[in-house]
Homo-oligomer: A and B are copies of this chain.
């Protein structure tokens, strides 16, 4: 990893065991370009617009594989869609604007600490940090006057 890994611009990334195909590279590039959380379909569409067409199922598969390998981030929107975004930092949580998808990263230390407390208090194992907050970012808020 420390030898030939270029920065993650989306093209010459180490795919963690996956074959480097045109489609996967394109997906990674698209995700790198969009910097809000986007659905598989949105990403698929973005690919088509940039001329890098890939089949919808391929996009679904690629996004899943890439997120499994930690190359991209995943969350679930309140209405059940899976959203993806370029991975900024491994373990962290998000505050996502429900309208534009804009993201604020929450300091992970605090969340983890907090989950750890509950793990100890309750005996629950393998607690998944489903701590994703959806709100309306300042830019998307209706003006007070209206």
Contacts and interface: CB of A to CB of B under 8 A. Distances in A.
A80 interface: yes
A134 to B, nearest CB: 5
Interface residues of A, number: 32
B97 A124 contact: yes
Interface stretch (A3-11, A45-53, A114-122): A114-122
A133 B130 contact: yes
Contact of A141 (B97, B115, B125): B125
Interface string A77-112: 010101000000000000101100000101000100
A8 to B, nearest CB: 26
B129 A133 contact: yes
